Amino acid sequence: MLKKSLVLHKQLNNNNGIGYCLNNIGYFYKDLGKLNEALDYFHQSLDLRIKEKDARNMATGYNNIAYVHMSQGETKKAIEYFEKSIHIYDSINKPSGKATTLLNLASIFKKDNNLEKAMDYYQEGLKYYRMAQDPAGEAMSLSHISGIYQDKGDMDNALIKMQEAFEINKRIKSVKGIADNSNSLGKLLFLKGKNSEAKTLVLKGLKLGKELGYPHTIRTAAYILFDIYKAENNGMKALEMHELYIQMRDSLKNENLSLIHISEPTRQAEI
């Protein structure tokens, strides 16, 4: 269907439509795990955007190419393309796009266990999401910053930043954000020995995850609750959570087998 649409747009000399199709064919191949084909189509789309001097979609194109290189473990190339995207977002004064790309860069350094560098990029991303008045992005940045503090063993600051993210998600009524933050806060409180408070929050995360139908959120909650119930010597409940965790883990595994999905911090659709 996408390739037929591409042929049609070419016949009509509709460059915007051609770029859109090329980009989405790239997404299609990327989700199938055919990364070389994905790169080819992303580069074709980018070349067209450069020719058209379409800065906004050029930035998206650089991000898409960076994602593929990141998935292939080609860190240096990924960073190069993410930085090109940031340069364009600066030139067109689009702080939200820059913030997203900064978080993508941060994820690379976190994966390499360069926590200081990752923290710098997450903090900068937070600043630009605030400039863009994007509360969802702000909450996401704070959650990542909390994760860095946790990795560094600073549970107090991890808890503070996750609580800030939680309050934002409650304010904007992001049910998914509330569910994920509930799980994260519960985990942090459990690590600090506050089992009762932790259990209340994670049970909330589990309930919301089930209402939303998100296996990943349910799996995370079940994993944490298993440890909490185990600490309470509640074997029956611990077993129940273990079985739920396995069920959700297998569900996600089967989903990935049916359509290979490449992990990416944020997917930007080209318009």
Rounded CA Rg of the chain: 21
Instruction: Please check whether residue 104 is in contact with residue 75, taking contact to mean a CB–CB distance below 8 angstroms.
Output: no
Cα 238 from chain centroid? 29
> CA–CA separation, 224 vs 182, rounded Å?
11
Q: Phi first, then psi: what are they for 158, rounded to 5°? A: -60, -45
Angle between helices 15-31 and 55-71 (to 10 degrees): 20
CA 237 to chain centre: 31
Question: Region 142-146: what's the mean pLDDT?
Answer: 98
Helix (H) or strand (E) holding 268: none
Count of beta carbons in the 10 Å neighbourhood of residue 123: 15
pLDDT value for 69: 94
Task: Report the pLDDT averaged over residues 119-136.
Answer: 98
Q: Which residues of 228-266 are buried (b: 16+ CB within 10 A; e: fewer)?
A: bbeeeeeeebbeebbebbeebeeeeeeeeeeeeebebbe
Mean pLDDT of 160-182: 98
Where residue 183 falls among pLDDT bands split at 50, 70, 90? Answer: very high
Alpha-carbon span 70 to 98, nearest angstrom: 18
Cα–Cα distance for residue pair 42/74, rounded to 1 Å: 16
Six-digit token pair at 34?
A: 């055919």
Mean pLDDT of the chain, nearest integer: 90
Cα–Cα distance, 224 to 201 (Å, whole number): 11
User: At residue 101, what is the residue type?
Assistant: T
Res. 132: pLDDT tops 50:
yes
Q: What is the pLDDT of residue 17?
A: 76
The first and second tokens of residue 257, run together, are 């087998």
Confidence class for position 21, pLDDT limits 50, 70, 90: confident
Helices (H) and strands (E) counted in the chain, each on its own, are 13, 0
* Cα 108 to Cα 117: distance, rounded to the nearest angstrom: 10
3-state secondary structure of 152: coil
Residue 32: per-residue pLDDT = 83
Tally of residues, the chain: 271
- The answer to whether 217 and 204 have CB atoms below 8 angstroms apart is no
Of residues 62 and 253, more confidently modeled: 62
Helix (H) or strand (E) holding 211: helix 195-212
Residue 243, pLDDT > 80, answer yes
**251 pLDDT band (50/70/90 cuts)?**
confident
DSSP-based three-state secondary structure for 16? helix
